[in-house]
């Protein structure tokens, strides 16, 4: 969801203020022009919804074990899923900023091809970097992810756009 929000925000900033972000990082998200993933639906019964969220392997197990905390988290998770599942991509001019698409080598949801499709969303530099791990690879290799983002930002400032 964060990649799509960032994508729309970058378009808004470019369109309304004629400013170009330094870099758009799309992590674990297929390009917006591709069909959305079917992850179970945000309005399904709670046991089914939670089973789908659990399968994604991104929510700490402690949350599922604490009924009070789970009760607080379910509305937030549903809202996130609803935003994603009701997202309506509208074609527009490509961004002027570089895009860095990140993915997990063992991700069963997002493959390299769906990350490569982000290339169509920029007129600037583009790169895909794959990391060890599943859909939530950031949790297993945070240092590598931060290094990749930092290197991309430094390269853009050094060589310009």
* DSSP H/E element including 100: strand 99-104
Length of the chain: 161
Both 24 and 95 in one domain: the answer is: yes
Kindly state whether residue 131 falls inside one of the protein's structural domains: yes
Kindly state whether residue 41 falls inside one of the protein's structural domains: no
Both 95 and 28 in one domain: the answer is: yes
Both 144 and 70 in one domain: the answer is: no
Both 54 and 18 in one domain: the answer is: no
Angle at which helix 67-85 crosses helix 46-56, to 10 degrees, equals 80
Both 56 and 124 in one domain: the answer is: no
Nearest Cα to 104, choosing from 66, 148, 159, 64? Answer: 148
> What pLDDT digit, counting tens, does each position of 139-159 carry?
999 999 999 999 999 987 654
Kindly state whether residue 109 falls inside one of the protein's structural domains: yes
The residues pairing with 104 across neighbouring beta strands, listed in sequence order, are: 131
Both 155 and 96 in one domain: the answer is: yes
Residue 28: CATH number of its domain: 3.40.50.1820
Number of domains in the chain: 2
Global confidence as pTM: 0.89
Containing structural domain, residue 19: 2-34+91-159
Please spell the DSSP secondary structure of 81-134, one letter per residue.
Answer: HHHHHT------PPBSS-EEEEEETT-SS--HHHHHGGGGGBSS-EEEEEESSS
> What pLDDT digit, counting tens, does each position of 21-73 carry?
999 999 999 999 999 877 778 999 999 999 988 888 888 889 999 999 999 99
């Amino acid at each position: 969801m964060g990649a799509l929000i960032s994508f729309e925000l970058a378009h808004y900033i470019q369109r309304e203020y004629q400013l170009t972000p330094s870099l758009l990082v799309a992590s674990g998200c297929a390009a917006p022009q591709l069909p959305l993933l079917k992850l179970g639906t945000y309005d399904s019964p709670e046991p089914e919804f939670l089973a789908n969220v659990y399968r994604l392997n991104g929510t700490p197990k402690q949350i599922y074990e604490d009924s009070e905390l789970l009760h607080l988290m379910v509305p937030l998770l549903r809202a996130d899923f609803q935003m994603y599942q009701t997202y309506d991509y509208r074609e527009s001019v490509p961004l002027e900023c570089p895009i860095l698409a990140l993915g997990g080598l063992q991700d069963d949801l997002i493959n390299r091809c769906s990350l490569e499709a982000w290339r169509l969303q920029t007129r600037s530099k583009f790169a895909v970097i794959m990391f060890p791990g599943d859909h939530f690879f950031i949790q297993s290799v945070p240092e590598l992810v931060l290094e990749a983002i930092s290197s991309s930002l430094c390269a853009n400032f050094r060589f310009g756009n």
